[in-house]
Amino acid sequence: MQSPKCSSCKLRNAVYFRRESGEKLCLQCLEKSLIKQVKREISKWKMLNPKDKIGFLFFEEFPLISTASFKLLEKIEKNYPSKLYVLIPLTLKLKEELLEKVEGKLVFNYPRSNDFLKNFRVKREYALMEALRVGVEKIVLPITLDFEVAYFMYGFLKFNLEVMGETMPKLYVSKYNIYFIKPFRRIKTKELIIYGFYKGLFNNIYSLRNKVFFNKIFCAAMQYIEELYCGHFELVDSILKMSEILVEKLLKEYGFTGHCSFCGTPVKNDLCSVHKSCEC
């Protein structure tokens, strides 16, 4: 059976059907669409400037998403005089050809635990410390739409303002004047995986040597979001838009006007609950 033609260029065969819009997209048009969405998010929240030193943080928990996100960012930044570095946890092994165009590769290790929330924040801390060595100003987090909405729902259900605050588009570490930014927060995970698969990017991942632990409530939220956007994608997008307004108001009302000095989490004082309770 012959594949349908791309509804955008009408020349190449489609590789992906975007259900919410009815579009049938070839690989090239899917890539253009993803880049357009990322650029829109960067522009909306003023995440990047043309001459920034940028660090891209790979998540060993999500190597496929990280790899596809990185290649999209690399395509965007090749048109600007910025410098792109990669921050890679020691447990994630990538082939050198994936990183041949970057300014530098920064490998770091950090103490892991069975607490996924703690890992998420401590990873940011250690990546930040590594990034400081080369003067990186912005650190990109490869966080997608479904992860961001599930993370917000997890914080909302537990009424944890720190967790809810972490879903803001930018997290600022004032102590070092560095931002963690999320330009992929409106991209569906499925679209990144399809893009990465057809681009042949996943052959560049050697191995992953660590076990990933996630909280049961967070896993349930992730599963719910995945099921929801299969039939009601507009609701998922609406939750993210609503969270941006709600979180900003709640943080101000409850006095969460500061940021953690190590991971950028919105806090009342200088440290988040994770960095208060342990020596990382």
Per-chain mean pLDDT for the chain: 90
* pLDDT confidence bin for 279, thresholds 50/70/90: low
> Got the DSSP string for 10-62?
SSSBP-EEETTTTEEE-HHHHHHHHHHHHHHHHHHTT---TT-EEEEE--TT-
The whole-number pLDDT of residue 95 equals 86
Q: Which residues pair with 106 in a beta bridge?
A: 87
- The pLDDT of residue 22 is above 50: yes
The whole-number pLDDT of residue 187 equals 95
The whole-number pLDDT of residue 186 equals 94
Q: CA angle, 130 as apex, 66 and 160 as ends, to 5°?
A: 65
**pLDDT tens profile 77-115:** 999 999 999 999 998 988 888 898 899 999 999 998 888
* pLDDT confidence bin for 24, thresholds 50/70/90: very high
First to last CA, the chain: 56
* pLDDT confidence bin for 228, thresholds 50/70/90: low
The whole-number pLDDT of residue 116 equals 85
- The pLDDT of residue 211 is above 70: no
* pLDDT confidence bin for 206, thresholds 50/70/90: low
What's the mean pLDDT in 245-269? 95
Can you tell me whether residue 107 is helix, strand or coil?
A: strand
The whole-number pLDDT of residue 234 equals 78
The whole-number pLDDT of residue 21 equals 87
Instruction: Walk across the sheet containing 53-57 and list its strands.
Output: 104-108, 83-89, 53-57, 138-140, 178-181, 170-173
- The pLDDT of residue 207 is above 80: no
Sign of CA dihedral 37, 201, 58, 138: negative
**pLDDT tens profile 65-87:** 999 999 999 999 999 999 999 99
The whole-number pLDDT of residue 225 equals 67
* pLDDT confidence bin for 209, thresholds 50/70/90: very low
Interatomic CA distance for residues 26 and 82, integer angstroms: 29
What's the mean pLDDT in 44-50? 96
What's the mean pLDDT in 145-156? 91
pTM of the model: 0.92
